[in-house]
Amino acid sequence: MKFVELLESKTLTETEMQDHILTFCLQNGTAAELFDKNKNSLYKVDLSQSILAENPVYSRVLTASFISGDENYTLDITISHNKGSEVTEVIKEMYPLILIIAFILSAVIAVIYSKHIAKPIIEISNIARRMEKLDMTWKCKIDRTDEIGLLACSLNNMAIQLDKTLKELDGANMKLRSDMEKERMQAKQRSDFFMSISHELKTPLTILKGETEGMLQNLTPFDNRDKYLLHSMQVIETMEKMIKDILAAARTQMINDNGVMRSADIGKIVVDIIQNQDELARSKNIQIHMALEKDLFVILEQELFSKALANVINNAITHSSEDSSIYITTQRSGTECILTVKNVNSTIPDDEIQHVFEPFYKVDKSRTGNGTGLGLYIVKSFLEYHGFRFGIANQENSVIFTIVMPLCYDGPDLMGADKKQQ
């Protein structure tokens, strides 16, 4: 078409036009034929067979009309191709280049594959092996929006849920083991407790049986019945007190976590107990000194705690010598309330102080007192029920009992607080 435009742009004679056509055919190896407006052949040239190989594969004729010198002409150009010898030669020449290009493309594709497909899959596979060992200390950092990215996101979510579930299971297992150990210890304590009960009740029952049989048979040592009846009554009163203490100690085994826990003023509880113990203290001329900080509120089951604290103060009065003093203090220490009961001029042997909380244990080996040996055991049971820390120790020729309790808040009685303070 450019050649036709060239012919149209010039005013050529037929001889000049033929020369241009011949030159075009020589340059391109084609055949050409020029026609006038009546379709008469004016000029024909065919150089395709002399330039190309024989037996052309196909020919294509291109026809264009143009005007030159006010005359209309038609030019047919015939393009012939052989069996592809030129293409074959070109391919042979470019074969090394084609191999290099193919190698480079393969390398690029391999890198892209390893970076975008194989590497994430290998990382996910490694993570799956770690999950198999229940190792959740990882995070898949593949940030993609395709299927591999969705798989990585699913692994992360699954790992979070599995880790949460495993921690919950570990916590539940630890609590279960703790509960089982606690139940085992409680079962052993109950067994030991009942064995101690049978042993402690055997002695007074034997005494009662012997004295009663002696009086019934009018044996000589039991002629003075009033004396032995009075002694029997004392033994019965001791047994009655022991049975009450046994029932009090057993009460903690029947109280569950639904016990009524309320906020109470520790100072008020101490004052109420001292008023009830005042007569016993006066009988021994014992001075009770109190230093109670105000507005110390603790969540507790008031009846049980009052019983425990009353036993502690009663023990202090009972085991203090006449004309001595007892010091009771309450004070705030951070978020805790510390209550101490100290009786002076009285100590517990160091080798026995660790046994004072055992049931029926008496520091007085002769057991001539009125105690049953259950007082501090009851104190221990009730304070452990509340979760309070406590202890007893010798200190400067005196015995001090300490209770440490968490404070709730400074305010009035907490109505409806029915959950045990842990």
Range 275-291 average pLDDT: 90
Q: Distance between CA atoms of 195 and 202, rounded to whole angstroms?
A: 11
Shortest CA distance to 330 belongs to which of 338, 319, 320? 338
Q: Given a cut of 70, is residue 87 above it in pLDDT?
A: no
**Model confidence pLDDT, tens digit, residues 161-189:** 888 888 888 889 998 988 888 788 777 76
Beta strands in 235-275 (DSSP E): 262-265
How would you classify the pairing of strands 398-406 and 389-394? Answer: antiparallel
Across the chain, what does the average pLDDT equal? Answer: 80
Rg over CA atoms, the chain: 56
CA distance 402 to 131: 51
3-state helix, strand, coil in the chain (%, to 5): 55, 20, 25
Model confidence pLDDT, tens digit, residues 299-353: 998 888 998 899 899 888 888 888 889 999 999 999 999 999 999 888 888 888 8
On whether the CB atoms of residues 200 and 242 are closer than 8 A, the answer is yes
Q: pLDDT tens for residues 89-130?
A: 677 778 888 889 999 999 888 888 777 777 777 777 877 777
Residue 370 has pLDDT above 60, yes or no: no
DSSP code of residue 321 = P
Q: Which amino acid is at 270?
A: V
pLDDT above 70: residue 253: no
* Beta-carbon count within 10 A of 193 CB: 21
Structure confidence at residue 418 as a pLDDT band (50, 70, 90): very low
Q: 62 pLDDT exceeds 60?
A: yes
- The confidence band for 255, taking pLDDT boundaries of 50, 70 and 90, is low
Contact 400, 342 (CB under 8 A): yes
Interval 63-74: pLDDT, tens? 888 888 778 888
